[in-house]
Amino acid sequence: MLQVPPPIQHEHEDTSPNRTAVVGFGNAVLKGVVGGGGIYIRPDRSVGNNVQKLTWRNSRWVKGYSDSDSTSSMTIVDVSPKVAIKRIILLYENYQYREAANFINRLHTTIFKYILDDLPVDMFIDAIPQSLPILEALFAKVFLSDGLDFPLRLLRPDSVVMQIAKLFAHPDISGTMIHKQSPLILSCKKLMKVIVLSDPRVKRQMLSRKHSLEKAVEGLGQHGLVATSDKALMNLHEALKVEFERIIHQYKIAVQKLNELCLTPKQLVTRSISYGPAPTDASHQRQLNLRQNEIQERLIKNKTILNVIEPTLTDHSLELLLKTLRKRVEIDKDIIFQFTQLRKEVKDVNPDAVVAPILMKFSKGCSRVLELMQDLGDEVEDYNSTSTSDISGYHSDSDSTIVVNSQNSGCKRYNLMYQSGNFQNKFYK
């Protein structure tokens, strides 16, 4: 009888009787499992990897997911408002701004409406530019919520605009302003778009603020020397003192002339209806009896007094000095107001700092914000026009078809938010 060689044994292999190949009735039995005809030889398993040793973190799939955008299109509806607020604050405190923005984008509208009043918006505004992704998500969520009572003032757009102006006023940021396609510029432009479309007055207010700052800076240089009546240049206070001394001297001369050329008698006669007949008729009769020399004498006296008093009342030098003084008071009041307002809006402004550089920096920041708003002019006109065509490259073909055929304001807002491209992806890259 032909002997079948035993199966190849490997190291650490179990050689128990249940694992041996047995010839019987033309079948091979392994652990009680009946196979087909012939001998069953156990395959070599030393080449394969142990399933228990496979770790998910070492998989190539994980690396691929870590490099890709982890934003989920699913909407979060099974989270309480309290947990949502804690989640956003926790991500913010851990500097995970992108994750916080993604979480806000995925929140259901009802949950977002509940937590909007309780979100620390001031804290997010103070953290610009790091918190720009969070603010983008908040403003976009409010802007795209058509038909819901979401006042944009809850997000303090004025403070956001001023904080962005402060960012652009920083000297370290001025070097990056040339690149209009930088992530920072695109993110700020997206915020400006939502704010300007929601409240067009913001643009006019920013323009007025820029002019006020420039006017205050110009007023700082309008406190120089002034000219007096004798063509001398001196300090305004000294010039006023000289002019008043000159006028006082003229007043004394006028009083002296009045005493010398008095037309009334030394003893005044007081008459009235209560103490006798009125002097009107008697005075009129007396004036009708004057002679030529008496009238000429009266004329000379009146003309002499007029020549003495009139220069004191029509002194143009004193009038100009008083006008200059009044103007400088208003200028200083405006400078103090502008600087105090900046200190309220920007907390890190030192009250003992030199005023002119602070005003000039924020004036430049306002100019940069106005440039961003100016770039949005065509897009704002497209939004306000009756056209509903979609020029976005962000949506798929089916999404674009739906958007083109829709006429509601919500779709128009969505088109406008993303018609410049995928701002969010550009910022996060």
Comparing CA positions, the residue from 341, 380, 383 lying closest to residue 216 is 341
CA distances 173 to 42, 170, 182, 333, 396, Å, are 71, 6, 12, 31, 36
CB 85, CB 124: distance < 8 Å:
no
* pLDDT tens digits, one per residue of 387-417: 333 323 333 333 333 333 434 454 455 455 5
What percentage of the chain exceeds 90 in pLDDT?
25
pLDDT band with cut points at 50, 70 and 90 for residue 2: very low
Structural element, H or E, at residue 37: strand 33-37
The HSE-up count of residue 149 (CA atoms within 13 Å, CB side) is: 2
Helix (H, G, I), strand (E, B) or coil at 35: strand
**Tokens in use for 144?**
């795209």
* pLDDT tens digits, one per residue of 91-143: 999 999 999 999 999 988 888 888 888 899 999 999 998 999 999 999 988 88
Say if pTM beats, i.e. exceeds, 0.75. no
- Exposure b/e, 78-113, CB count within 10 A at least 16 = b: eeebeebbebbeebbeeeebbbbbbbbbbbeeebbb
* pLDDT tens digits, one per residue of 14-61: 554 444 444 444 444 444 444 444 555 665 555 555 544 444 444 443
CA-only gyration radius of the chain, Å: 45
CB 359, CB 216: distance < 8 Å:
yes
Question: What residues contact residue 87 under an 8 Å CB cut-off, 6+ apart?
Answer: 79, 103
Supply the pLDDT for residue 254: 85
**Tokens in use for 425?**
């992806």
